Each structure stands twice: as structure tokens, then as C-alpha cells.
Amino acid sequence: MRFEEMTIAELKAYLDGKEELSPEEEETLKADHRRGAAALLRNFNREKEIYRQEEVRLKKMLSEEDHLRNKGYEAIAGVDEAGRGPLAGPVIAAAVILDPAILIRNLNDSKQLSSAAREKIFDQIVFNALSYGIGSASREEIDQINIHAASMIAMRRALEKLAIKPDYVLVDGFFIRDCPYQQKAIKGGDTLSMSIAAASVLAKVSRDKIMLNLHREYPQYGFDRNMGYGTAEHRQAISSYGPCPLHRRSFRLNYS
């Protein structure tokens, strides 16, 4: 490869399409005395190191799944919920069975990701997962049976929607009550298990979309900004307008 005959723009396009450089290519680039070529090589190696570190992080997040697969389990579902704490709206849960051969770059606990990153990773999970399901429990159910029990219902509903029956379930935080599958509850599991992290992203993005739609019906509460959580703005709106049908009557809504 005669890099010295390429323009810097052509060299950049070439490197953008490469995951690795051969030792010969790297030595040839190092010998290129153009400042732009040196900068491109530095950037390429920096991105390669970032990708390597990300691969290490993701593989570490598969340790629970790998341990179970070594025991003979194959369809391992991660489960998580979004919406336990808000003053309004449903609680949403997701169950995901990931393809162990595919690493989804930047996948992490949904709380560690920006809204834009969650949306992008949501699409990658949906496209690459072996199976996924979304379940919910309504505001009425939350008020009737309490938020913890409603979260259990949402998670069981998410599992029921999986097209592949799991033979083991990893869940964030608490065991799923009346779950028909073997399970393990992992405290902080959305940062420790890739399957649970994927479920946290699906649940969070799905719930945010619901709250954005509900904002159109009740714009005075700022659901497009607070997603139903008890921000100062939201609490002031409840004091000014009173609760709407989405507000959880079993939660403390009177802040005056």
C-alpha cells in the first residue's frame, strides 16, 4: 500500500474503513512525514484502544451469562423495569435474550446513557436480540396493589411476551415474585449484566415514549421533561392544577 501517493482525504477514507492495520501498513504510515498522516495514525490508534477497552468492559458484563452458559443454560433473559419512582404514569418492564455472539457497543445501565444514546442502543438491541418483550402495569394497578407488586406484574408480563422461553432469568434488584423460571436477582445488575442493561434500556426508552405521548394530553405537568418524576416544576403543577388521571393516588402528591 503506497500511502504516500494518497491525499490526506483519501488516507482518512481508507483508515475509516479499517479495523486493524497490518504491521507493514503501520510502519509505512509512521514513515509518512506529512503532519496530516501522523495525526490520522494517532487518531486511528486512539480509537482502536477505546474500542479495545469497550470490548473488555462488555465482556466483563457477560460474566454472569457466561457462568450460566457453562452450566448448560442457553436462553438467558435479562429483566429490568423503569418507573418505580415517578408520581405519574405506568411502570414498564422489559425482558431481553441477547445473542451471545454480538456485543452492542456502549450498552450500559440506561441511567448512565444520554437520551440520544439510549434511542440508538434501543434500536440495536431490538435488531440484534434473539427475543425481547415489553410489559407494563397501569397507574390503576399501582394504586390498587402498590408499586412493588405492580413492578412484579410488569416483569412477568414482559417475560410472557418473549418468543423464546427462557431457561434462566437475571433480574435487577429483587427476585420476580411468582416467576415460573429459575432466576437470580443481582443488586446493581444493570451495570453488571449485559442482559439486564439491555432490558433497562428497552424499559426506559419505552416508558419515556409513553410519557411523551401523555404530555400531549396533559401538557401542564411537563411530562416531556420530567417523565412523571417529582421535580420541583412537576410538584408545583400538581399544586396549581391538582392531579390528573395519570397521577398515582397512592403516592404523596400534596406538596403544599
Tell me the CATH class for 73-204.
Answer: alpha beta
Residue 213's pLDDT is what?
A: 96
Mean pLDDT calculated for residue range 217-235: 96
The alpha-carbon radius of gyration of the chain (Å, integer) is: 23
DSSP readout, 175-219?
A: PPTT-SS-EEEETTHHHH-HHHHHHHHHHHHHHHHHHHHHHHH-G
Show me where the domains of the chain are located.
3-60, 73-204
Higher pLDDT, 73 or 253: 73
Q: Which of 44-53, 173-182, 227-236 has the lowest mean pLDDT?
A: 44-53
Statement: residue 2 has pLDDT above 80: no
* CA dihedral sign, ordered 135, 139, 141, 142: positive
Band of pLDDT at residue 112, cut at 50, 70 and 90: confident
Residue 208 confidence (pLDDT): 97
Mean residue pLDDT across the chain:
92
- The residue ranking higher by pLDDT, 44 or 247, is 247
Is the pLDDT reported for residue 256 higher than 80? no
pLDDT of residue 255: 56
Which pTM does this prediction carry?
Answer: 0.83
| 222 touches 233 (CB < 8 A) | yes
